Structure 1
């Protein structure tokens, strides 16, 4: 069975990779769907988020990365899948994902599996990573090396432009 792990992944973190890896143990194939949310301001453009997700998931068997546009339920059913896997950290995440699960089921017949974040990554968010990085903090323990390196490159260019 095929499952889809959707998100914006800006940037992809070890918390995301934990959910993706656990989903890969449960399903024959997992598609990491890198989407665009028009209400979000991104550190990385869609192409770079896709590239970083491909590199970060390269060692996880049964996982591939695809760009996502349009309705998630159309994407999932277009791949022949019927399951979305989402990770949740807190009750507020659960409340939101439960609403989305009900809508995805009603609109497209797509089921949602909700995996709780592991205790190690339960408080980690991409927003926090971007904030730490914006202030020159070390994010290497929270993101794959490819992501950490790319963020350092961006910060270095910004410092050169400001200096």
Structure 2
């Protein structure tokens, strides 16, 4: 009897030891996953908090002129307006080369397609002596961060009317720009995101205001570059756009 109990106890101890080993491995994996998620969340929050929001009028005080670097300025350009041009000019003076990236979100409906919007931006660039030969217009239907990585850009710029007006939507996009390269890259280093807030002269500039004026048959002077005013009125006069 004693021998049988001893054998049974030994078997139970072996089973318990095996279970303990499994539990330990599972716990270790769970702890590792939790640590990675926690550190990633902390890193994302830090990058979000540290992303600079510079006033357009004071950008020269913050960004040093660098002859060799490339940067990307992304937006829907739906349509291009004077605020976009002001940002492009500021970036062209401070950086070696600027890519004006026209984004297209397949989940949104645009009155004017990406090809036409891209052509509008090209006309604006070609007509401006400050931008000509310093800005290249590109278009993407994918993630903007992929385009920035493909073009080897040092920074990805976004324009905002103000952080109060555009901060929430920009934060969502910023999270995608941070997490996307890590998860989908995979493990690519994200391109730094920087924001330029409109100056007093362009605080009311927005693509939605351009579309409203076109629909109301109001003047576009001061809001849309002269080189594309007629084209913008022709392309957008067909009605409202579901994309803001």
TM-score (norm 2): 0.59
In the alignment, is residue 4 of structure 1 matched against residue 80 of structure 2? Answer: no
SS at 1:32's partner residue? strand
Mapping for residues 1-163 of structure 1, pairs under 5 Å: 1-58=69-126, 59=128, 60=131, 61-90=133-162, 91-108=164-181, 109-154=190-235
Gaps spanning 5+ residues in structure 1: where? 159-163
Instruction: Specify which structure has the higher proportion of helix.
Output: 2
Do the aligned residues in 1 keep the contact of 2:123 with 2:228 (CA within 8 Å)?
no
TM-score of the two chains, using structure 1 as the length reference: 0.86
Deviation at 1:155, TM superposition (A): 7.1
List structure 1 runs of 4+ shifted beyond 4 angstroms: none
Structure 1 residue 128: Cα displacement? 1.2
Higher radius of gyration, 1 or 2: 2
Hey, what's the Cα distance between the residues in 1 that align with 2:108 and 2:180? 24
- Per-residue displacement from partner, 1:102-156 (whole Å, max 9, x unpaired)? 4323333111111111111112110111011012111122001232111343478
Q: CA deviation at 1:69?
A: 2.0
